[in-house]
Structure 1
């Protein structure tokens, strides 16, 4: 029955939800928001308790977890759900549900682990929507998906159907095991975090892995421009696609031209601007009913594009996902103030130096930054230092001490190329 429930959202996402202009999209969103508001005032104890005229508050992961019991509309208790989800992760068994509801844990990159729940109906809606938006044009059936992630969930398994097969690959397993299994499975679509895609591309380059995929989709991590170009070359594809998906919903995906768009047909995004282009998204998912995602403030830094996309979509085009607010580096300013530096400026200090692809930049203190990259020559190290000194001069902060160490990739941890640790 759930496979049949996937059909309508699939058709809507692929063909029906097309808007002539922003005004038409905004009218549609307003109607959906009104329906969501009416539903929550009836079914969510938290929103039912708010005065009619009250502005609904912003939420984040801390708020969600503090009010979990009264926010959700299914009577799920946080402590029981957390115990169930932790047991699933410990046993690496993800095919059970809790009182008919799928429960999962967020990866905790922001320092806090969160619980997310989905009903069977929401799983069908998610699967139909994501397949409608992401399946290659011209071929809808017969695909074999290889899906890499830290933890499986019935939400992801809901994609499996008589016409599409999904195989889950646990990132906790050794890369050699993945290569062996992929050589046998031969997927047509490969879905994995960017760092895993790079590792698999290296296996192809070294002739350990051979497969002919029609589509490669990056998830869970920021896809760096250098990695994207490398993947396009190795997989011999014109576009490496991206899915912007998190605990808070299916927020965005790339079009046929490889341009990232917000999924404004299923989520409403308010923007908290940091400058003319950068903003934090405040998400309201008007399709999700079991666990309200209403005015949920993410600490992702999105960079909007003002240019129209060749695909013709009226959905907001995103130039890049730059990082998170807690990855903004903080340096001592020359005038005694604290200078904030966006992750993109830090990346450029590495990207402006030739032949550096695998790297990680970690700020441990305002005066100390660690550069992890393998086999850097002394000339490359000097160039990196020069780039940081130039950046410090341009932005008027005291250049930190730079230390260089070896880069080690851990597939069990979400890779952040730029990270602040204090």
Structure 2
């Protein structure tokens, strides 16, 4: 790392860790507004897509999504890099598994593409150093920070993911040994190297952490990291319990995506939005304002603009303010995508009601037996259930428990339970994000109304 980048990293670490503190949420929002105003004034005229909007406030700018961001990719970055150029170098890196390539000094990366076309992100060297400083400030516990500064032994980070990036390896230094474990090669193949590394910090998607926890509980893995961090997918309750039992530590989370570093867990294990760097406009999904889709603006990112970008994720607000003292919004959970929301019919009405993934996960977790891995897919009025292979009696028992748990949830919500149907369990690729719950298609409510109206006519006649 260049000396200038190291200085920049240290500056942003210190600033994030100790200086960006606010006495109230109102003070944070006022500071945020000043930063956003200055950012828009400086950056909109420099960015082709936004030049026509120069002089407008944030609320007057258009809300965009992934489709718009990809269509106008070259006009939303100041490096004049086209989507074709960025995609070509990113795909080359993915195919070669060598992620060190840059495009005119800009790091290019791809999202996993689990939903629609793959997103593309660009970061400059300055932005990588800034990101590293912020990330370290958010994730480094006090004891490891003390070790980093005063002890001879370096911090060792084990990082399991589908793809590496210069963004992540920015953390690599004499004091921090960063080791990437490529999930395209599987998990078990890395175990000897992981054992030899003896990681201080273990970072991986939830289902990978769960697999490592299982190996640890079975005695096949002896590592004892001092911090375990879940990334890239929803942390399911059963995975969380298994990981914490195996490593004897709370599981921390990072909410990082192509569009930015959005949330992190504090020392108490509570998720907080990274509002000192990201502005979030909530698009509320319920009248109680408990769940929302985030519309994000990163007012620190210059190379590629992320302004009023609507994600497809569902975030649930925490009931009470976190006692850690931070005034940034605390989350109860990152529930998944909007496409993971199921839609069931009211018991005494014709409308469809949203059933959020976390409701299903909680109901299934409360079943009377420990259930194996599963998949749920809504296809119209049918809910297809797949149970991980095992003894037939065990699968049948698990299926009955699953149906009972879901039926009970429907009754508590005043909804009609869907028609249950079994489907074959297919384990996903180890390198892919796991999605246990999906809505493939909703019930045709117009068809339901037609049947009800016809029944009423017959009864009346």
TM-score (norm 1): 0.95
Write the distance in 1 (CA, Å) between the matches of 2:53 and 2:428: 47
Instruction: Give me the CA root mean square deviation.
Output: 1.8
Contact 1:301/1:323, CA 8 A, preserved across alignment: yes
Structure 1 residue 413: Cα displacement: 0.9
Alignment of structure 1 residues 17-416 onto 2, 5 Å:
17-50=20-53, 52-53=55-56, 55-140=60-145, 141=148, 142-237=154-249, 239-275=250-286, 276=288, 277-331=290-344, 335-353=349-367, 354-375=369-390, 376-393=394-411, 394-403=413-422, 405-406=424-425, 408-416=427-435
Residue 359 (structure 1) shift? 2.5
Q: Alpha carbons of 1:23 and 1:331: their partners in 2 closer, same or farther (altered >3 Å)?
A: closer
**Counterpart Cα distance in 2 of 1:349 and 1:305:** 19
In 2, Cα distance between equivalents of 1:133 and 1:345: 29
The one-character-per-residue Cα deviations of 1:321-366 (angstroms, maximum 9, x if unpaired) are: 1111011113455655444321123223422222125322223443
Runs of 5+ unmatched residues, structure 2: 149-153, 442-461
> How much does 1:404 deviate?
5.2
1:306, 1:386 → 2: CA distance?
Answer: 28
**Equivalent pair of 1:219/1:243 in contact (CA under 8 Å):** yes
C-alpha displacement at 1:198, in angstroms? 0.5
Correspondence for 2:450: none
- The structure carrying a bigger helix percent of its residues is 2
CA contact (8 A) 1:339 1:397 kept: no
8 A contact 1:368–1:402 mirrored in 2:
yes
Give distance in 1, aligned partners of 2:329 and 2:317.
7
Worse overlay, 59-68 or 364-373: 364-373
Conserved in 2, the CA contact under 8 Å of 1:374 and 1:407? no
The CA distance in 1 between the partners of 2:433 and 2:229, in whole Å, is 16
Conserved? CA contact 1:270–1:282, under 8 Å: yes
How many positions carry a matched residue from both structures?
421
Change (3 A) 1:345 1:400: farther
For 2:351 and 2:410, how far apart are their aligned partners in 1? 14
Superposition deviation, residue 195 in structure 1: 0.3
Secondary structure of the residue that 2:101 maps to in structure 1?
A: coil
- 1:92/1:33 CA distance change after superposition, 3 Å: same
Q: Contact conserved, 2:364 with 2:406, CA < 8 A, in 1? A: no
Q: How far, CA to CA, are the matches of 1:256 and 1:41 in structure 2?
A: 37
Distance (Å, rounded) in 2 between the aligned partners of 1:150 and 1:190: 15
Aligned equivalent of 2:437, options 412, 418, 421 = 418
* CA deviation profile, 1:22-69 (whole Å, cap 9, x unmatched): 122112101210121022223101111226347110011111001111
> Residues 381 and 418 of structure 2 are in contact (CA less than 8 Å); yes or no, is this contact kept in structure 1?
no
For 2:108, what is the secondary structure of its paired residue?
strand
Secondary structure of the 1:165 match is strand
Structure 1 unaligned segments of length 5 or more: list them. Answer: none
Could you tell me how far apart the structure 1 residues matched to 2:144 and 2:361 are? 38
After the TM superposition, which of the residue ranges 344-353 and 14-23 deviates more from structure 2? 344-353
Q: Deviation at 1:252?
A: 0.5
Task: Please tell me whether the aligned partners of residues 179 and 200 of structure 1 are also in contact (alpha carbons under 8 angstroms).
Answer: no
- CA apart distance, 1:298: 1.0
